[in-house]
Amino acid sequence: MTADELFPVVLAGRVALCIECKTVTRAPVPVRWIQSTSGPGTTLYACPDHAVKLGAGPTPEDALRRP
């Protein structure tokens, strides 16, 4: 075993992968929500720099309801 396998990097707090630049961000901004047919949906995140460019997309709270 290598030292990296024995002591993996543990990220504390809320982190996510930016969908635009593919880097780990410690300040994720939810920008998209993908509905799933077989389970809960998935929230996609962006770093603060790319969140402005991508804009806010549909979130679970944005679901359209029939009157």
pTM over 0.75: no
The structural domains of the chain, with segments of one domain joined by +, span 3-62
CB 47 within 8 Å of CB 25: yes
pLDDT for the residue numbered 45: 92
| β-pairing verdict for 16-17 and 29-34 | unpaired
pLDDT tens track, the chain, 67 positions: 687 777 777 666 788 999 999 999 989 988 888 888 888 888 899 999 998 888 766 666 665 555 5
The span from the CA of 42 to the CA of 52, in Å, is: 20
Cα distance between residue 33 and residue 58, in whole Å: 6
Identify the pLDDT of residue 53: 87
What's the confidence (pLDDT) of residue 36?
83
Q: Residue 46: which of 35, 56, 36 has the closest Cα?
A: 56
